[in-house]
Amino acid sequence: MRSLVPKGSSRSMTCLCLTHSLTQTHSHNLLATTFSSSLYNSNNRNPLFQLFSGILRPRIRAFSTDFRSAPTPTASSSAFAQSMANFDADSVTYLKQRDAAEIDETLMGPLGFSVDQLMELAGLSVATSISEVYKPSEYSRVLTICGPGNNGGDGLVAARHLHHFGYKPFVCYPKRTPKPLYAGLVTQLEALSIPFFSVEELPSDLSNGFDVVIDAMFGFSFHGSPRPPFDDLIQRLVSLHNNNNQIGQKRSVIVSVDIPSGWHVEEGDVDGTGIKPDMLVSLTAPKLGAKKFGGPHHFLGGRFVPPAIAEKYKLILPPYPGTSMCVRIGKPPRIDISALRENYISPEFLEEQVEADPFNQFHKWFNDALAAGLKEPNAMSLSTVGKDGKPSSRMVLLKGLDKEGFVWYTNYESQKARELSENPRASLLFYWDGLNRQVRVEGPVQKVSDEESEQYFHSRPRGSQIGAIVSKQSTVVPGRHVLYQEYKELEEKYSDGLQYTPHEINGQRLWKVDRLAP
């Protein structure tokens, strides 16, 4: 291996900048705090760090990133991807009210299910659907409004699971069913110290206290018009959706269980004045009225439909992924990218609190990322520019850091290596999402010593070494099978070997074991 830049290249100015995002209410520009220091080489007094336009400019050295093959999909994930690719989302079966009732009767009759079994599976499906979209880090406070029937029981079960998923559930259960099953569900929630609110204790504007409101009041078997206090609760949910459309109002979401309360089971929101949930979790199979659902998230739960039921009612339902209790119906919603925004909340980042030495500050932040359990905190974006002036970026892994700079490794025939030979300057970007922090580094790049490079290569697992040899990075190959075949050939060629040789010691036959050189 040869140097991409001549040895002994001059040490030009470089830049390292750390930013720590603060709370942003109306603006989403990051507030950057920079720090500076000066450090001189005792031999030639050339500045390794120098204050330049208020930004610290440390020098970096670098280099090389290893070949990392894409993870091979598991059999289960591949099978699910294939089944979803072959599944026609428009062919999903929507049940009439009568068919839905008959299926429930069959499940709890000849097929041997009990109502508490079905309720447990349904509630778990609702909780997992919520966790797919609304993460507890942002949507922690969940109010479940439960009706007196099975739909309300599903909501009670969902509240219990959400507690174990890391949410903070609250329950409003104004018309409690005196049956032992429902009393037991209440006892389970009380044992977890989950608060119960009366209707009067709820704020008139539910968005003032909750991030998610689960509508578990009435299911597909409900007839007639809702009576007090559920008529008022339904109107609060209608108002909640209207408030969400007002600029500046806090965003709260509504999740309906099986059918939005107050909707006609087959005709949906007839007059357009009913609840407009953000998520609908259909159970067993979606009901006919769900075709009128216009929210962004429609999930199917209740993974308990046996083949006999599916065949009798000609049910066409999407396959469930892996061990999940829910599956999305239809395609994910189209997202308005311009509307995506995040409020960044972090501790204060003050000049007097930072280290005088930027490398010490980087180590401090890097250790914070390790302590936070962030995935691959040493991942960084490497940007290079060739002689054509076109920038290119890719993710690599930091493999070393000292007072001379940051070290990574790469194939010397890769695109980034060619660009660095033409323009030996680069920029690095570390981004630690869980801490709302980023570090930018800019400067010249030079090759590490041959000894350091060889030492690193031989420290890698045998499979990783072979992969690096096989990969001619950034070059076109006929297909994956070519790389696989070359890999297998090298694996056989360089496989470790043992040799057993018989010999006698004091008349006893023994085996001598020797390792063969690859």
Which residue ranges make up the annotated binding site for K(+)?
Answer: 151, 215, 261
The 3-state DSSP class for residue 500 equals strand
DSSP letter at 333? P
Binding positions for (6S)-NADPHX:
150-154, 219-225, 258
The answer to whether the CB of 449 falls within 8 A of the CB of 409 is: no
Q: How far apart (Å, rounded) are the C-alpha atoms in residues 354 and 21?
A: 15
Burial bucket for residue 460 (CB in 10 Å: 0-12, 13-18, 19+): middle
The 3-state DSSP class for residue 365 equals helix
The DSSP bridge pattern shows strands 425-432 and 437-444 to be: antiparallel
Q: How far apart (Å, rounded) are the C-alpha atoms in residues 131 and 227?
A: 31
Phi, psi of 240 (to 5 degrees): -60, -45
Binding positions:
150-154, 215, 219-225, 258, 261
Q: How far apart (Å, rounded) are the C-alpha atoms in residues 312 and 303?
A: 17
* Closest by CA position to 68, among listed 486, 447, 494, 461: 461
Q: How far apart (Å, rounded) are the C-alpha atoms in residues 275 and 215?
A: 9
Q: Which residues pair with 144 in a beta bridge?
A: 171, 214
The 3-state DSSP class for residue 392 equals strand
